[in-house]
Structure 1
Amino acid sequence: MNVATTEATYNFAKKFSTYKDFYIKHNDLVFSKLGLGTFNKEPYKEENYVFHYIEGVKQAVKSGINLIDTASNYRYGQSEKEIGIALKELLDEKAVTREELIICSKGGFIQLDFPFPKNPYVWIDENILNANLATKEDIELDQHCMSADFIEWSCKKSLENMGVDCFDIYYLHNPEMQLQKLGTKTFLKKVESIFKRFEKMADMGLIKYYGVAVWNAFINEKGSAEHINLEDLVKVAQKVGGENHRFKYVQTPFNIAKTSIYTMLTQSVRGEDCTLLQAAHRLNIGVISSSSLLQMNLFKKSFKAETGYLLDPNMILENDIQLALHFCRSTPGIISSLFASKAPVHIKKNLEITKLKSAARANYDLMYRV
């Protein structure tokens, strides 16, 4: 089984002069504090298929990133396939080994195919319902499916797309989409069936660890329609996998404009209210943050001068994109923060922030008063 290992990820980090500050160990893996994401909104638009991520992935890895994140539905599977091409080229060049990279994908959304099928409803019937991977009741809004059989099928398809044997982390993708329809009790039973399958998939060598990747579940206030308490998920994992369960990671949005996981008491652990980051620490769950640049919506006006000074008092960084990424990588409690970029030149420029140490904790906390 080819997966990331402690020794290999540590050796990857040591190739770069900044390894003592830009890399962090969690469980038995060493992560780069920035990871490459491959989400692009509105996948049905033709413009999403006139570019590719291949050179961007290669540049990211050669610049020090060893965390690569995608999902089965990103650009109807094209993102996964392009990562697969990039990985093969990197391995053929001997620029990296598989064991040095932490490769992640997600299942839950119905991925369809590229080119887009003439009738997506027929595609769902033929590929999912008629194949007994799920029932109509498992599918929400013709786009999201929470059946264990579908999730396993989706994982295997993603592995094939990417040309790898095993995912280091595999996420259940945005399960909160079905929370309101199912109600909390039935929802958690559905999660239990999927976590049980994840444990079996780990035993089969398809995945090393599993997690949950969400959009609203951890950033909305308690009582909101899509709110999930992390402790409930951990209890489910303990029930199906025991104390050595493989539920180890969550992925959730965090950026300079959306700081809920650091500031809001959206969670409770053993009856005590806390932030998501505090809950994750107490429950031994690693946090990977997404949407570091808020799909570039952070930059409609320039950041305040005070923001730049607190994050970068020596004025080394050149633009607000770098500041936004530096903010995320400096956040205590986050293992790695994802950003998406297609152009190698932009990736190289963004990763110049690795020349800086993380912002001092005192300066970082002052950011919330600016």
Structure 2
Amino acid sequence: MNYKKFDNLNLSEIGIGTYLGSSDDITDNNYYETIQEGISRGINVIDTAINYRNMRSEAVIGRVLKETEREKVYLSTKGGYIPVPYYIDEDPTQWFKKEFVETGIVSPSDITQTGNILSREYIEWSFNKSLENLATDYIDIYFIHNPEDQLLKFDRETFYKKLRSVFELLEEKVREKKLKFYGLATWNGFRVPPEHQQFLDLSEIYKIALEVGEDKHHFRFIQFPYNIAMIEAYNLKNQTVNGEKFSTIEAAKKLDIYTYISSPTMQGRLIRAVSPDVLKKFKVSKPVHIPIQFVRSTAGVGTVLIGMSKKEHLIENLEIEDIPPLSPEEIDIMINSR
């Protein structure tokens, strides 16, 4: 397994994502076997979210952690969306009202049209619930889940105030030794132009982290989609750092922020039959390895998160580790020759 050095961490080049799959026992068992196999083969990055598969993805990871040395795994989860637990036997709307609204954790005015919530009270509930689901005393990286959805409802000044409050909470969790780092997991925010309503300005968000935690802040990770079909994080110069324009990947490196890449295969849609010439161009022998090779070979990419709920898929995907990556120059030529 190849590893990326960041701070004092050695993070596996490939990580396991747990978004896909039905909310049932069969999928749980498949994930359980896959994650165990991945750890045995050197994967140490596991990514999830409280709302993935009605909390079942977190619960499965918790089962694995009970049988694994905790320090061997860099575990990330996310909070921001309304999760409906798999174990409730009542109407979800009534459950939410009783659990959140009547207790004062959430006001209906907090909720965006996409079901996103960014408030100190709600993120604290989500964080603590994730600790419980994951059966662990601490989380390595806690991501705020698609915070750009807040900009669909709130103005940018209000958004920054809400984000600051949550950053303050997460710095408290670090001091309590319940958290090591935090960041933002996004879909649109880092791959749209600055004039877009959901654009996330990484430098402005970094400044908030500095104001909250000074030079010892723990805002050190971002997650975003990047693949052969979605190249904006590489070639769209939408971020400004110290007066210079950079892509999101470049800006993250300038600010010493590690990148998790989501959707490298677009949930398998980028895997298709190709000619031998295309395989040769990517220096692989199987079409399944092409999108992985593209992403992992890109300069500035940290860990590539691949959704894998079946052990045989994991084993096949990890064959890429025995294949040399392309050079950053080859990737640059591929992108800029379009």
1:78 aligns with 56
SS in 2 for 1:347: helix
Answering whether residue 147 of structure 2 is matched by residue 171 of structure 1, we say: no
C-alpha separation in 2, matches of 1:153 and 1:232: 26
Contact preservation (8 Å) 2:114, 2:149: no
Contact preservation (8 Å) 2:20, 2:309: no
The aligned amino acid for 1:51 is T
Q: How big is each residue's C-alpha offset from its partner over 1:282-310, in whole Å with a ceiling of 9 and x where there is no partner?
A: 111111110111011213x4346554223
Q: CA deviation at 1:322?
A: 1.4
Which of 43, 46, 63 does residue 68 from structure 1 map onto? 46
Contact preservation (8 Å) 1:117, 1:123: no
Contact preservation (8 Å) 1:310, 1:367: no
Unaligned runs of 5+ in 1: 1-17, 92-96
Contact preservation (8 Å) 1:307, 1:367: no
Answering whether residue 13 of structure 2 is matched by residue 26 of structure 1, we say: no
Deviant stretches of 4+, over 6 Å: none
1:3 aligns with none
C-alpha separation in 1, matches of 2:130 and 2:328: 39
1:277 aligns with 249
SS in 2 for 1:25: strand
SS in 2 for 1:273: strand
State the Cα RMSD in Å.
Answer: 1.7
Q: CA deviation at 1:253?
A: 0.4
C-alpha separation in 1, matches of 2:98 and 2:213: 33
Identity of aligned residues (%): 33
Q: How big is each residue's C-alpha offset from its partner over 1:10-39, in whole Å with a ceiling of 9 and x where there is no partner?
A: xxxxxxxx5xxx111101110111110001
Contact preservation (8 Å) 2:279, 2:286: no
Distance 1:194 1:238, change over 3 A: same
Alignment of 1:241-260 (within 5 A): 241-260=213-232
Which of 190, 199, 205 does residue 218 from structure 1 map onto? 190
- The TM-score with structure 2 as length reference comes to 0.94
Alignment of 1:1-370 (within 5 A): 18=1, 22-40=2-20, 50-52=26-28, 53-89=31-67, 91=68, 97-115=69-87, 118-141=90-113, 143-299=115-271, 301-303=272-274, 305-312=276-283, 317-368=284-335, 369=337
Distance 1:242 1:294, change over 3 A: same
C-alpha separation in 2, matches of 1:107 and 1:117: 23
The aligned amino acid for 2:246 is C
- The TM-score with structure 1 as length reference comes to 0.86
SS in 2 for 1:255: coil
